[in-house]
Copies of this chain bind each other. A is one copy, B any other.
Amino acid sequence: MKEKELINIIKDIVGSEYIGDDCACLKDIGIVVSQDSLVENVHFSLRYTSAYQLGWKSVMVNISDICASGAEPKYLTIALSIPEYVDENFVSEFYRGAKDASKDVKIVGGDITGSDKLFISVSAIGSTKARRISSRSNAKIGYKVIVSGEHGNSAMGLKILNSEIKNPQEKEFFIKKHLMPEARIEFSKQIAQNISADYAMMDSSDGLADVLCQIAKASSVKIKIDSSLIPHNKNVDMDTVLYGGEDYELVAVVPEDILPKISDYTVIGEAVSGNPAVEIDNIVVNDIDNKIYNHFED
């Protein structure tokens, strides 16, 4: 079973218009919420990550979800389930990492229990005050596709950790990108506070190509990308740039007139009329579900 099929089953039963997006926007109380879990040996391995790095990443991926919505990250709760082979010191280090990653975002609660394997589930709350909230279905013909940061670095880090790369260059740089990502709080704020039209924004947790496909499909637009414009490290190949996951960079599809009001972005393409699809260098990206970064074990 794939995650997306299961989400469709859940959507059918729960009948909620909220299910399926990374964040749910609760307009009546002016907040967005997200919840993401990290499971040992599915999303991380203790062979590679320290407790501090794990605490950091658990928090950061959830802050990133809130940033993708355009809301201001405000509060977090953390549920941690620990097996017998981790000790008090592990819990301390995990929370030190979580605390350092959370910065101005407050950790306000959660739960700690026993378990067979490490299991972390973080819930994040953002405020919609003075922000315009994104939706993946809001891309429109003529909008520009912009991204923050570089793409593929985190997946490159994972490949290095998995010993898939011989004699890796900039080893520590890539590994850090994988283990300790940074959510794009400023990029999100600049857009959400200044934009005066509906727009689409997601983070690249499942990879850049996946985000583009999600937005194209939900918004019923064709997205054309020029791969030579995608910011990436020279040591990372284009397949990893497009299909690698967990960079937690932001990808936004926005009207051109917002661009002078924001900084530190790169235009990589645009939304045009046509069948919902992604064209990279004029080649349609098919089969995306088989290529994208998918943690889920079939």
A residues with CB within 8 A of B: 1, 3, 5-7, 9-10, 13-16, 18-19, 21, 23-24, 26, 29-31, 33-37, 39, 41-43, 74-75, 77-79, 81, 84, 87-88, 91-92, 95-96, 98-99, 106-117, 119, 121, 123, 125, 127, 295-297
Query: Which residue of chain B has its CB nearest to the CB of A116?
Result: B117
Query: Which residue of chain B has its CB nearest to the CB of A3?
Result: B112
> Do the beta carbons of B113 and A33 come within 8 Å of each other?
no
> Do the beta carbons of B107 and A19 come within 8 Å of each other?
yes
> Do the beta carbons of A114 and B33 come within 8 Å of each other?
no
14 pairs from A and B in contact (CB 8 Å cutoff): A3-B113, A9-B88, A9-B92, A26-B125, A33-B75, A35-B121, A37-B113, A37-B119, A43-B113, A84-B297, A117-B117, A119-B119, A121-B123, A123-B123
> Do the beta carbons of A36 and B99 come within 8 Å of each other?
no
Q: Which 7 A-B pairs have the closest CB atoms?
A: A121-B121, A24-B108, A123-B123, A18-B108, A114-B297, A35-B77, A24-B109
> Do the beta carbons of A42 and B114 come within 8 Å of each other?
yes
Residues of B within 8 A of A87 (CB): 1
Expressed in whole angstroms, the minimum distance between the Cβ of A109 and any Cβ of chain B is: 4
